Chains A and B, each alone.
Chain A
Amino acid sequence: MATPDATGSSLLSTLPGEPDLNPFAGVDIGELETSLRRPRTLINILLSWLVTGMTLVALVPLFSVIWMLLWRGGRKLSLALFTQLPPAALEQGGGFGNAIVGTLIIVALAALISMPLGILSAVFMAQAPPGDRLAGAVRFAAKVLTGFPSILAGVFAYGAIVLTTGGYSAIAGAVAVSILMLPTIMLTAEDAIRMVPAKMKEAAIGMGATRTQTVLMVLLPTAFPGILTGIMLAVARAAGETAPLLFTALFSNYWPLSGHHPNLMQPTASLAVLIYNFAGMPFQNQVEMAWSAALVMVFMVLITNLIGQSLSRRQVQS
C-alpha cells in the first residue's frame, strides 16, 4: 500500500527537478484510481466498516442499560413504591418513598451551598482583568475539583462534618455532594457570563450603572439560561452520586423526621445508597426494588439533564 507520504514525496521530488516537463512523471496515476482491486481502497473501506462497527458496539451498553431498567425496573413499578418505607429482610412489598425524599433534600441542600459560592466566584472570574492572580487560582481550584474522585468528597465530609458533629446526617451528605457540584456550576456560569455581548455591558456602564448594577441587571439576567444549564447538569450529577453519601448521609429505613418535624441531623436515606445496599442482598424483593429505584433515579437524572441541555440550546439561538 502506498502511504500518502510516499505519494507526496514522489510528487515533490519530480516537481523541482524537471520544471518544464510533465510534473506528474513520477506519479503512478493508476495508483490514484479508486477501485476495489487496489489494496488502498480496500483498506479504506475495511477501516470505515471497522469504525462503524466499533461505534455500534459502543452504543450496545447504553441500549442494554435502558432496556434492563425498563424491563426489570418497570415490571414492579407501582404507587406503593413511592409512598412506603423499605422492607425488612424477608418482608414482601414496601417502597422507597423515604429515599426519594432524602435524595431531594440532600440535592437541594447541596445546591443551596454550591450555588452562591459557584455563581459569585464565576462573576468574579468573568469580571476580573485578564491575568488576575486570584481569578487564575479560582479557575485552577475548579479544575482540580472537576477531577476530584467522588469518594474523596465523602472522606472529606466524614472528617470535617461527621466527626465534628458526632453523627451521620443529611447535612454531611449535602456538603460532600456540593463539592462535586461546585466546579460544574462555576465553570459553566463563567462561560455564560463571558458569552454576554460586550456591547450590553458597555451600554450599561455608559448609562452610569455601577458594576454591581451591570452584573445584577444586565449580565446575570442575560447569562441566566447558561447558568441554569450548569446548575441543572450539576444537580443531575449530584442526584446519582453514591460514593460521597455512603458514610456521610449513610442510610435509614425511616422518613427523615424526628417526631413530626423534618430532621437534617440524622442518617438519611437516598436512592443511590438504596440501590447499592439492595443490589448486594440475596433477597428477590430487594433486588427488584433496586432495579425500580434505578429506573426512577435514571429518569430523574435524564430529565434534569435534558432540561439543562435544551436551555443551553435556547441560549445559543438567542
Chain B
Amino acid sequence: MAEAKAISQAPTGLQRASDSAFRGLCYSFAWLSVLAVIFIVLRIAFAAAPAVRQYGLGFLTTRTWDPNTGQFGILPEIWGTMCTSGLALVIGSAFGVAAAVFLSEGYLGGFVFSLLKIFHVQFHPFWGKLPERVEQVLKNLIELLAAIPSVVYGLWGLFVIIPLIRPACNWLHLKMGWFAPFGTDLSGPGVLPAVLVLSIMILPTITAISRDALVSVPPKLRMAAYGLGATQWETILAVILPTAARGILGGILLAFGRALGETMALAMLVGNANSITISLFSPANTLAALLANTFPEAQHKEVGILMYAAMVLLGITLVVNMIGAFILQRASAGLEGGK
C-alpha cells in the first residue's frame, strides 16, 4: 500500500482473486439460465412421458374428455386454439397494420401541423414540436394496450363485450341461421367474444413491430416513388409495404405465438365446452384455457394427461415463435444489406 501514491496501480492479489471469482460467477449464471430453460422444457416433457406412452398420437385426434372412463383427447382444444388465434390474427393484423401505417406516415402529425398553420405557429419553437409529441402520445397509448393485464381484458370482455354484441349476434342467428358460422345463438361466453378480445390483445405487438419495419424502409425508396409521380397510397401499397413485408410478417407470427399461449382472457370468455364447432357464437375451448380450468382440480392421473396437453401447446408455440423470430432476423438483416 506504500506505493499507492500513483493514480493507477497494478491490481492486488485480492482484486485478481475477486476478478476471477466475479467472472466465474457471471459465467456460471449464464450457464444457469441456459440450463434453466432446458430444465423447464424437460420437466414438462418428462411429466408428460407416461401419458404420451399410454395415449400416443391418438390423444391429438380424439375428442372425448372423460376422467371417469379414462378417455382423453384434445382435438377440440387444438381446433379451438387454432380457430380463435387464426380469426383474432386476421382482425388484429388488419387493424394493427393500419395503425402502424397511420403512425409511420405521420397522419396525426400532419393534421396537427395543418392546424398550427392556421394560427401561423407551425415553426414556433414551442408549438412546432407539437406534431411529434402528439404522434409519440398516440404510440404510447397503443403500447398501453399491451400493458393491461389479460385478466382485466377477460373481466372487460365478460361485462362489456358480451352484453354489447349479444343482440347483434342473436339477430344474425335469427335472420341467417342457415349460414354455419351463425348456426347457434350467443348465450354467454363463446368464440366471437374471445376472438374480439384476443385481437385487441395482440394488436399492440403487431403495431409496434410493423411500425418499426415501416419506419426502417430507406427513405430513398419513398422519394423515388414520389418522384415518379406516385400518390402517397400508391407508394405505400406498391413500395413501402412490400419492402417492409418481412418485418410485418415476423411481427404477425410473433403475435400468433402470443395468441396461441394466451390464457386468462380465453379461459374467461371462450366458454370451456369440449366440442368442435364452426359456429362463431357457440362455446369452445383452447389448450391454454383447458389447462387453466382443469389443472386446479385435477387428480393425480389427470395431471399427467394435462402435462401432455401442455407439451403440445409448448411445441406449437415454440415452432411459431421460432419461425417469427427467424423471419424478423432475416428482415432486419435484409434491410441492412440493402442500404
Dominant secondary structure of chain B at its interface with chain A: helix
Interface of chain B residues 15 through 29 with chain A (CB within 8 A): 15-16, 18-19, 21-23, 25-27, 29
**A44, B233: Cβ atoms under 8 Å?**
yes
B31 touches which of A5, A11, A134 (Cβ 8 Å): A134
- Contacts known (A247-B295, A279-B155); A242 close to B8, Cβ less than 8 A: no
- The residues of B that contact A3 with a CB separation of less than 8 Å are 234, 238
**B11 interface residue per 8 A CB criterion:** yes
**A290 interface residue per 8 A CB criterion:** yes
**B295, A242: Cβ atoms under 8 Å?**
no
23 contacts between A and B (CB under 8 A): A4-B234, A44-B234, A48-B233, A54-B102, A55-B95, A58-B96, A58-B142, A59-B142, A62-B145, A117-B36, A121-B29, A124-B29, A125-B30, A142-B33, A149-B261, A152-B261, A239-B149, A240-B149, A272-B264, A275-B155, A298-B148, A302-B144, A305-B144
**B238, A4: Cβ atoms under 8 Å?**
yes
B297's nearest neighbour on chain A, judged by CB, is A247
**A40, B317: Cβ atoms under 8 Å?**
no
Dominant secondary structure of chain A at its interface with chain B: helix
**B73 interface residue per 8 A CB criterion:** no
Q: How far is the CA of A298 from the CA of B59 in the complex (A)?
A: 39
**B307, A155: Cβ atoms under 8 Å?**
yes
A127's nearest neighbour on chain B, judged by CB, is B26
Q: How far is the CA of A44 from the CA of B234 in the complex (A)?
A: 8
**A276, B325: Cβ atoms under 8 Å?**
no
**A177 interface residue per 8 A CB criterion:** no
- The residues of A that contact B26 with a CB separation of less than 8 Å are 120-121, 123-124, 127
Write the B287-325 contact mask toward A (1 if CB under 8 angstroms, else 0). 010011001100000010011001001100110110011
**B233, A211: Cβ atoms under 8 Å?**
no
Given contacts A117-B32, A242-B263, A305-B144, 18 further A-B pairs with CB under 8 A are A32-B229, A48-B232, A51-B98, A54-B99, A54-B102, A58-B98, A58-B142, A68-B156, A69-B152, A134-B30, A135-B30, A141-B34, A146-B321, A150-B263, A152-B313, A241-B149, A250-B296, A279-B159
**A208 interface residue per 8 A CB criterion:** yes
**A149, B263: Cβ atoms under 8 Å?**
yes
Tally A-B pairs: CB < 8 A: 278
**B154 interface residue per 8 A CB criterion:** yes
- The residues of B that contact A294 with a CB separation of less than 8 Å are 151-152, 155
A147 touches which of B101, B153, B158, B317 (Cβ 8 Å): B317
A120 touches which of B19, B25, B267, B268 (Cβ 8 Å): B25
- The residues of A that contact B260 with a CB separation of less than 8 Å are 149
Write the A11-47 contact mask toward B (1 if CB under 8 angstroms, else 0). 1000000000000000100011010000011011001
Q: How far is the CA of A207 from the CA of B328 in the complex (A)?
A: 41
- The residues of B that contact A34 with a CB separation of less than 8 Å are 231
**A291, B155: Cβ atoms under 8 Å?**
yes
Q: How far is the CA of A160 from the CA of B153 in the complex (A)?
A: 30
Write the B224-250 contact mask toward A (1 if CB under 8 angstroms, else 0). 010011111111101100000000000
Interface of chain B residues 100 through 125 with chain A (CB within 8 A): 101-103, 105, 107
- Contacts known (A208-B10, A213-B15); A65 close to B148, Cβ less than 8 A: yes
**B69 interface residue per 8 A CB criterion:** no
Residue in B29, B153, B160 with the greatest tally of chain A CB atoms within 10 Å:
B29
